[in-house]
Amino acid sequence: MELDVTPLIIHHLVKSEDLNHHGTLFAGRSAEWFVESGFIAAASLLPPKNIVCLKIHGMTFTKPARSGDIVRFESKIVLTGRSRLIAYVEATAKGQYLAEGFLTFVHVNDTGQSQPHGIVITPTRPADIALQDKAKSL
């Protein structure tokens, strides 16, 4: 099955319990939301019970988020292999980039062994082609 994937969007409100000692969004909470966003992108293509996160390739922060900010996570699967799916996620708030990065998920059977999923991502937009090329180098 060949696909050109549409991005998925989720939002999170930054609350006081999400803050670090600097009064900005704690990196651990950001990572949780980051992985959740990538997982939702993978789960839009395959049954959630058959997806596991293998690796966060990087989550580069460019700006902090503060209490009351609504963080928008946009995610999409940009590359697939036999059993893997690589998601690209970017986080923004107030129209400014906060973080971006890639995650690898694996399609597994009921005993946790990797299994082929049969999905091929075929990007058509130049930006998506560039993201796929970047994911290939991970």
Global pTM reads: 0.94
Q: Is the pLDDT of residue 1 over 70?
A: no
Q: Cα 138–103–97 angle (5° rounding)? A: 100
The number of helix segments (H) and strand segments (E) in the chain equals 2, 7
- CA pair distance 111, 80, nearest whole angstrom: 21
Q: pLDDT tens-digit profile of 37-58?
A: 999 999 999 999 999 999 999 8
The number of folded domains in the chain is: 1
Mean pLDDT over residues 95-106, rounded? Answer: 97
Domain of 44?
Answer: 2-136
Q: Tell me, what CATH number does 44's domain have?
A: 3.10.129.10
pLDDT value at position 4? Answer: 63
Q: pLDDT tens-digit profile of 105-122?
A: 999 999 999 999 999 999
